[in-house]
Structure 1
């Protein structure tokens, strides 16, 4: 029996999504709830589970296609395999699970219904529009280590399906290097914990097998990759690369513009001696019972923010223009700004005020790992009440952060530097950092913002003061 699976609304109300990669091919036999594809919305990369057990008969989109919600994505022959239910993969985000729960309705013979869980009805039965691609290589994310809560997503997905099985995971520059060295990535083993093939893995394999550098040549492909011509204006036209503004970067840009020109921003700075906090972190990391928790300055700052927000609720509120009300939150959903290869994301820690320092450290680490892999669920980026961004991991002393829409403030942590500082009436080398607080002046006046910042700084200066704010 032939069954079609239409792209569902993944719980975000978005009209379309980009197909990142297929995890199955025509002729493959799949089980119920087996992950068949990865799609990228404007907020996250989501894994799609199969709604049927059977044989794949057709793939109606290619990697890179932008598919409208409700359009046919894949077809199955369910007569070939009995539908034996299997547990859903643990990695499937809640939004994808919701799509799976209602997916059987898509196979109903009704004519183009507006299905529950699928969002808007299909706008067109035509093949999804293939998005133009940039000719050339766009620089990939840095492979530097994730520091505190500023993870970098080093995982980019394949542009075309080159095999009937899942492709080796690597970044575009690594794939380019492998092609130049004549290395088949399917034969290269990833040495890192992430399972992503690195440049070092390719070079080590090439040296081991004696692969030689070959000049790139135009090869015939079963599926051509579409490109668009860059505008030319003498030499200048050939020395530029144009990248479509899409996905997370587009949504983030729109949100930042809306925030900057809606909420009147005020930023205040305070430089503080955090030597005591540095010593506390060193002692905690030396404790064998706590070593696996990786407690750092970000976790201590998060705890300080939660304690200070209890004393200054104006910083934990929301301006509801439609209702004409100020909404004060009695909980803290603490946003952690994370820079990734797909753009800035701000997932939040729910009810952060209830967590201990160790639990906050674990939560921040979890957010970092999820963002690095591109698997941050859309729901995790909604409902934040206050945010923290750590610009210090880039060696920056201070900045003027833009408030996340719907929140009253954001705290930027600068780099911790060892420098001469007045201490107990003398000059000594101390660990010093600058805090920058941006707040919505409609909700918070200068006095409230300053007192909040001083409370956070006092805890970082003397962590024992946290005992007084409990």
Structure 2
């Protein structure tokens, strides 16, 4: 029996998702919870596990398609209770055997006869199926090990043809590549992430020629860059016009320029979501930004001593972790910064916990996953949580749930050498703190001029929830802790 699987709501209320790649093809036998596809929402790349065990009968979308939630994504041929599923699979095996025969033998068996045979076999399937749990996009059992079984595809050209018929391969719903011109069985597209595929395309590199170095077989950015360095790959230049008289003369300064003069990228995924959220935030919450420049020499000395402590070996504690701890402590004295304006219910929601968002710049755009109950963590625990969060974000594996429910955020623009900025609030939050670069510069210290480690803090807050005094006191508290980390002992 044919069973359809529709794209589920992935738990974040988004209306659509982009199909990144299929992990199966039509004719594959899949098991329950085996990964069948990767889809990219406005927040993350999500793996879809199979809600059924059976044979893939049809793929209803191609890589790059935007699929609406609730639309049919894939159809399965499920085995019946009377064992007719085995007969159906046997029938398909016969068809595959016929397709693998030479062109002369194939010509003797008309396609119409084989189609009728398949129709008769399908008609014998029972009207009811064995119920399989519909997991709505999320798996509950261990994923099957090994790769899915591939159905052999016959070459469209005759035996005497020098290469396979590329028109047939291009029409296939599953992405396929030739390992060589003489191979007539298409292979699965090399596994990689969307940013890596874009990099390879920009460099003019065929991913089928790149050897993955990791144990998982996933081609990484480093693999592509290493291959490009070996072969000297460069971005293809724009093709020359047929006639030099048909276009104006090119200035000498542009004669050696390579690559297209402009590139258009569809506004999708994280970047589209971030843009909409920032516009909504900027035109909904009245932003106010205050600045404070702080001598953080004592904090940098503390970090140096922690780095030399053997008992903390393996923990990377940096200025961001100390700032995160300072924010959690300061919020206990400024609960207005840890609240939300609930327009729908006409209420101000004040949180008794801190879900601390950490802005992370990735190849897919800016994401702000948050650390749950950060206020209950020690400095070491915060540092470990920030490191794990950043690693997950860079790999594009941040779950949508990890980017929801934040109460306050931090963005570290100092890592880019920037001194200060005016950060925009994450929607639904009352405050966001930007950390500038730590610079060694002349500074007044104990009545004298000395070289000190200095950084600038920028706090943006929602003026509906926080007035100038409250915001300034909060920023002063954070600055005081960074100036003298021992002051944290005075705060709850």
Please give the range of the TM-score, normalised by the shorter of the 2 chains.
0.7 to 0.9
2:51 and 2:136 in contact (8 A); partners too: no
Matches within 5 A, 1:49-448: 49-79=49-79, 96-97=137-138, 160-162=175-177, 164-165=187-188, 167-169=190-192, 171-172=196-197, 174-176=199-201, 179=204, 184-189=208-213, 196-198=220-222, 199-203=224-228, 206=231, 239-448=261-470
Provide the rounded CA distance (Å) in 2 between the counterparts of 1:258 and 1:10. 23
Cα RMSD over matched residues?
A: 3.5
The count of corresponding residues between Structure 1 and Structure 2 is: 387
Q: 1:255 to 1:293 in 2, by over 3 A?
A: same
CA distances 1:195-229 after superposition (whole Å, capped 9, x unpaired): 6142442146548xxxx9998999xxxxxxxxxxx
1:175 and 1:185 in contact (8 A); partners too: no
Deviation at 1:350, TM superposition (A): 1.0
Provide the rounded CA distance (Å) in 1 between the counterparts of 2:187 and 2:75. 16
SS in 1 for 2:67: strand
Provide the rounded CA distance (Å) in 1 between the counterparts of 2:2 and 2:236. 46
SS in 1 for 2:437: coil
Provide the rounded CA distance (Å) in 2 between the counterparts of 1:177 and 1:441. 45
SS in 2 for 1:431: strand
Q: 1:76 to 1:183 in 2, by over 3 A?
A: closer
CA distances 1:132-155 after superposition (whole Å, capped 9, x unpaired): xxxxxxxxxxxxxxxxxxxxxxxx
Q: 1:268 to 1:34 in 2, by over 3 A?
A: same
Provide the rounded CA distance (Å) in 1 between the counterparts of 2:332 and 2:226. 49
1:21 and 1:161 in contact (8 A); partners too: no
Q: 1:18 to 1:174 in 2, by over 3 A?
A: closer
Provide the rounded CA distance (Å) in 2 between the counterparts of 1:197 and 1:390. 24
CA distances 1:227-275 after superposition (whole Å, capped 9, x unpaired): xxxxxx999xx73322222222122112111211221111110010111
Deviation at 1:12, TM superposition (A): 2.2
Provide the rounded CA distance (Å) in 1 between the counterparts of 2:471 and 2:217. 42
Deviation at 1:377, TM superposition (A): 1.6
Matches within 5 A, 1:32-51: 32-51=32-51
Mean alpha-carbon deviation: is it higher for 447-456 or for 374-383?
374-383
Provide the rounded CA distance (Å) in 2 between the counterparts of 1:178 and 1:240. 16
SS in 2 for 1:240: coil
Provide the rounded CA distance (Å) in 1 between the counterparts of 2:235 and 2:304. 50
Q: Which runs of 5+ in 2 are unaligned?
A: 80-84, 90-128, 142-173, 178-185, 240-246, 251-259
Tell me whether 1:9 sits opposite 2:32 in the alignment.
no
Q: Which residue of 2 aligns with 1:465?
A: 487
Q: Which runs of 5+ in 1 are unaligned?
A: 89-93, 101-158, 219-232
Flag the structure with larger Rg.
2
Q: 1:360 to 1:18 in 2, by over 3 A?
A: same
1:348 and 1:381 in contact (8 A); partners too: yes
SS in 2 for 1:187: coil
Provide the rounded CA distance (Å) in 1 between the counterparts of 2:366 and 2:234. 36
Provide the rounded CA distance (Å) in 2 between the counterparts of 1:357 and 1:217. 53
* More helix per residue: 2
Mean alpha-carbon deviation: is it higher for 459-468 or for 238-247?
238-247
Q: Specify which structure has the bigger relative contact order, considering alpha-carbon pairs within 8 angstroms and separated by 6 or more residues.
A: 1
Provide the rounded CA distance (Å) in 1 between the counterparts of 2:469 and 2:216. 49
Mean alpha-carbon deviation: is it higher for 166-175 or for 37-46?
166-175
Deviation at 1:193, TM superposition (A): 12
